[in-house]
Chains A and B, each alone.
Chain A
Amino acid sequence: MQMRSGRHLPAQQSALAFLVAAAFVVLFVVLSSTPGYAIPAFARKYGLPCSACHEAWPKLNSFGQNFKDQGYQLNNDRDSPIWLNPSYWPVAMRITPHWHYESLGHQSVDSGDGTVEQTIKTSGFDLTGIDILAAGTLAKNVSFLLVPSIDGVAGTVGFESANIRLDNIKGSPWLNLKFGKFELDGPLSEKRMMSFSNTGGAYQLYHYVPAGDINDFTVGENQLGVELMGHSLDDHTRYAASLISSTDGSLGLPGGRSYDGFVHLSQGFMAGKLGLQRVGVYGVTGLRPTYSLTSGGEPIPGTGRGNKSFYRAGGYGNLYVGKFDLAGVYQHASDNVFLANGTPANGELPEGAQGATWNIGTFEGHYLYSPKHFILGRYELVRMSRQPLSDLPSDYGNIDVFTAGYRFYPFINSRAGFAWHIEFSTLKAVKTADSGADQRSNSFFTGFDFAF
């Protein structure tokens, strides 16, 4: 009897869950019929709605990308701050109070004389760091971006971005020079990412390196350097080339006395009623030191030696179909054998050591029912093609990450942005537990994202 009722109860619950979910779909469609209005961060300067530049903030649309590429200018003779009320101050702030749940499977835990593996679960209320966003023009065709960032946990203030840009040099949109600390012009902007959770809040595409690899370069971190960028008037054709310090964006002189180089070329094209589509290629290469000169056994800053090479190269496409858009990125990555194995170039490599190579695919889809409702889905997969040590299992360190999220903008007024954010992300890393088991991390994140 108990068995029978035990069978019936889940069936009833699942039917109820189905009805609730179906009702949610209907409710979602009905509620979405109310339009909202919005003003962007630059609204006080230009008087445009935020939806003019953002599909859903912070994700840019093609007009917003063009505005950014023009150096935060509309080229309508109102770009110079001389046109502005003296009280205008081009500053906005953004923070996201939230609650999140994290779990990490097969975590080694000390137990008696040895260790056991168990799943660690935790949850709590939290804050993101606060971004102070100052951006605009100092004069016509001289633009700037300054983003001091306060880390609430460490209690430190850093500079996420700080750059000056000479726009439209010689009157040409093909010549723009940026100098300072800035986000590389990659195929996907991590600074405008629509996910926040510990698991899904960063692109594997930009951050993944095999276990034991000492290469600290990430496309996702803002970098220190100079960027030459150009674009056609309609932004369909774009290029960017950057020369950056090999510090991965950290202030101070590089340890390895080298620079990294990054290039990105893309072409947009109209595909009939589908609208603007884009394809592009990018690549970055550089050197990293494998050891330093020492004094008393301690490394001397700026004396990196034994530079070894790495590169990342990829291609991508952005497909727009009405309210859907899908970005697909493929990247091949390679790190020199010394970097991949964390071995000084003047030292001896372990047996079976080899340069590491891997491939990453990132697929990110968005559905924008209206500027008030934004749905995100992302799948990333990392596949090792050559392990740093030949005796490692071929799939060791492979990763699959799935992220789904939804943002609701209950109102979008002329001076601020506000969104309720909910997100779930799950990551599986193959054979990375001490026991050789797969490790799974799950994140659930919900909070209120606001900027003003």
Chain B
Amino acid sequence: MMKRRMICLSILLIAATAGSALAQNAGVSSGYPTPKNGFSPAEQRGHGLYLRYCVLCHGVFGDGNGDNAPFLDPRPRDFTAATFKCRSTPTGTLPLDSDLIGTLVRGVQATNMPSWRPLTDENRQDLVAYIKTFSERWKTEKPGDAIKIPPETPVSIESIRRGHELFQKMECWKCHGQQGRGDGPSASTLTDSKDQPIRPYNFAMARNDSRFKCGSENQDLYRIFMTGVDGTPMPSFADVMQPNDAWDLVHYLRTLQTERRSKENEVLKAAGGAATLKSSENKSENNSAADSNGKTHSGGH
């Protein structure tokens, strides 16, 4: 009698646990119970993963006000605004899922956002599905179309020189500084869309394994010019810059990473080094000082 009851109890226990597991999980489990209030299965799984991994920074409501947020600089992303830095889509548009997944895989350089590479692909898809529930924008808008990135132009001293001229002309130096150290005259005044102070990217501190916020390749840098970094003062130059110009600027910016091994640095060194670019730098800076009288450029840096 007792044995039979023990068997029944065992079956009940196994059924309860297995049922819970199968109903709520796929892939690597978050371990958290998931809500049932109209969420899709992916959103439900994402909810559990969000509680496990994200909630203390991004907050229960996805507004970037988690328990740890006051201690973080920059502050965690506010998902309720649906404004994302790293996109392949034009400025002001929603990103593709692949953009958000890319951010999860990569992490975000110079922030507390780590790489979530150890999670599974399905985990990341579920997290993205859940993150999208925080803003109504995802219900009323569609993500933009990914910008097209033309093939990279050859790296040459002419390209680097043109990029340098663009750097002066577009007044990139006002935020990023002439040496790309993020110490331009406007740098200390910059704030993000939440009025939090923000620092321009410091190209000069890059080493061989350094990354940008949204990637590490030349293509990623090109993409940043064309999409901008939404929520920050970094604008999109898609309307004012031709593709070849953007590649020239990419090639020049790589030379600001003086400690990094790159073809751009090799070409510049062979041509005589950074001194060969100085004449146009001085000219542009003088012109800019006379023209703008210290104002930031039209891109909104």
**Residues of A at under 8 Å CB distance from B?**
10-11, 14-15, 17-18, 21-22, 25, 29, 32-33, 35, 37, 39, 43, 46-49, 51-52, 55-56, 61-63, 65-66, 74-78, 171, 233-235, 270, 273-276, 320-324, 367-371, 375, 414
A sample of 18 more A-B contacts (CB under 8 A), given A320-B29, A323-B21, is A15-B5, A22-B12, A37-B67, A39-B68, A46-B114, A51-B31, A52-B53, A75-B115, A171-B209, A235-B118, A270-B121, A273-B122, A275-B27, A323-B17, A323-B20, A323-B25, A324-B17, A375-B17
Partner of B114, one of A39, A74, A273, A368: A74
- Contact call B20/A29, Cβ cutoff below 8 A: yes
The verdict on B28 contacting chain A, using a C-beta distance below 8 Å, is yes
Residues of A contacting B56 in the complex (Cβ-Cβ under 8 angstroms):
37, 39, 43, 47-49, 414
Residues of A contacting B109 in the complex (Cβ-Cβ under 8 angstroms):
76-77
- Contact call B28/A275, Cβ cutoff below 8 A: yes
- Contact call A29/B114, Cβ cutoff below 8 A: no
Minimum-distance CB pairs A-B, first 7: A47-B68, A322-B25, A74-B114, A322-B21, A275-B28, A273-B26, A66-B118
Give the CA-CA distance A80 to B111 in the complex, in Å.
13
Give the CA-CA distance A337 to B67 in the complex, in Å.
60
The verdict on B82 contacting chain A, using a C-beta distance below 8 Å, is no
Residues of B contacting A275 in the complex (Cβ-Cβ under 8 angstroms):
26-29, 120, 122-123
The verdict on B257 contacting chain A, using a C-beta distance below 8 Å, is no
Report which residue of A37, A235, A275 has the largest number of chain B beta carbons within 10 angstroms of its beta carbon.
A275
With A47-B56, A270-B121, A370-B32 as contacts: A76 and B114 at CB distance below 8 Å: yes
- Contact call B13/A25, Cβ cutoff below 8 A: yes
A and B contact pairs by CB, cutoff 8 A, 14 listed: A11-B1, A18-B9, A35-B51, A46-B114, A49-B53, A76-B107, A76-B109, A234-B117, A274-B27, A323-B29, A324-B18, A367-B17, A369-B20, A414-B67
Partner of A76, one of B21, B51, B108, B119: B108
- Contact call A321/B1, Cβ cutoff below 8 A: no
Residues of A contacting B31 in the complex (Cβ-Cβ under 8 angstroms):
51, 55-56, 323, 368-371
Residues of A contacting B114 in the complex (Cβ-Cβ under 8 angstroms):
46, 48, 74-76
Chain A's closest residue to B107 (CB) is A76
Give the CA-CA distance A320 to B71 in the complex, in Å.
35
Residues of B contacting A322 in the complex (Cβ-Cβ under 8 angstroms):
21-22, 24-26, 29
B297 CB → nearest A CB, Å: 28
Give the CA-CA distance A367 to B29 in the complex, in Å.
11
A187 CB → nearest B CB, Å: 18
A176 CB → nearest B CB, Å: 15
B122 CB → nearest A CB, Å: 7
Residues of B contacting A321 in the complex (Cβ-Cβ under 8 angstroms):
21
Secondary structure call for the B interface? loop
Give the CA-CA distance A65 to B110 in the complex, in Å.
23
Give the CA-CA distance A77 to B108 in the complex, in Å.
9
Partner of B16, one of A25, A74, A171: A25
Chain B's closest residue to A85 (CB) is B71
Residues of B contacting A43 in the complex (Cβ-Cβ under 8 angstroms):
56, 68
- Contact call A63/B53, Cβ cutoff below 8 A: yes
Give the CA-CA distance A99 to B25 in the complex, in Å.
36
Instruction: Count residues on chain B whose CB falls below 8 Å from chain A CBs.
Output: 51
- Contact call B119/A63, Cβ cutoff below 8 A: yes
Give the CA-CA distance A443 to B28 in the complex, in Å.
33
Chain A's closest residue to B53 (CB) is A52
Chain A's closest residue to B26 (CB) is A273
Residues of A contacting B1 in the complex (Cβ-Cβ under 8 angstroms):
11, 14
Partner of A48, one of B2, B24, B57, B111: B57
Give the CA-CA distance A118 to B68 in the complex, in Å.
57
- Contact call A62/B33, Cβ cutoff below 8 A: no
The verdict on B267 contacting chain A, using a C-beta distance below 8 Å, is no
Chain B's closest residue to A13 (CB) is B2
Give the CA-CA distance A363 to B17 in the complex, in Å.
19
- Contact call B28/A49, Cβ cutoff below 8 A: no
The verdict on B190 contacting chain A, using a C-beta distance below 8 Å, is no
- Contact call A62/B52, Cβ cutoff below 8 A: no
With A46-B112, A52-B53 as contacts: A65 and B118 at CB distance below 8 Å: yes
- Contact call B28/A62, Cβ cutoff below 8 A: yes
Residues of B contacting A74 in the complex (Cβ-Cβ under 8 angstroms):
107, 114-115
A255 CB → nearest B CB, Å: 42
- Contact call B32/A63, Cβ cutoff below 8 A: no
- Contact call B107/A25, Cβ cutoff below 8 A: no
The verdict on B55 contacting chain A, using a C-beta distance below 8 Å, is yes
- Contact call B52/A51, Cβ cutoff below 8 A: yes
The verdict on B79 contacting chain A, using a C-beta distance below 8 Å, is no
The verdict on B271 contacting chain A, using a C-beta distance below 8 Å, is no
Residues of A contacting B2 in the complex (Cβ-Cβ under 8 angstroms):
10, 14
- Contact call B33/A32, Cβ cutoff below 8 A: yes
B85 CB → nearest A CB, Å: 14
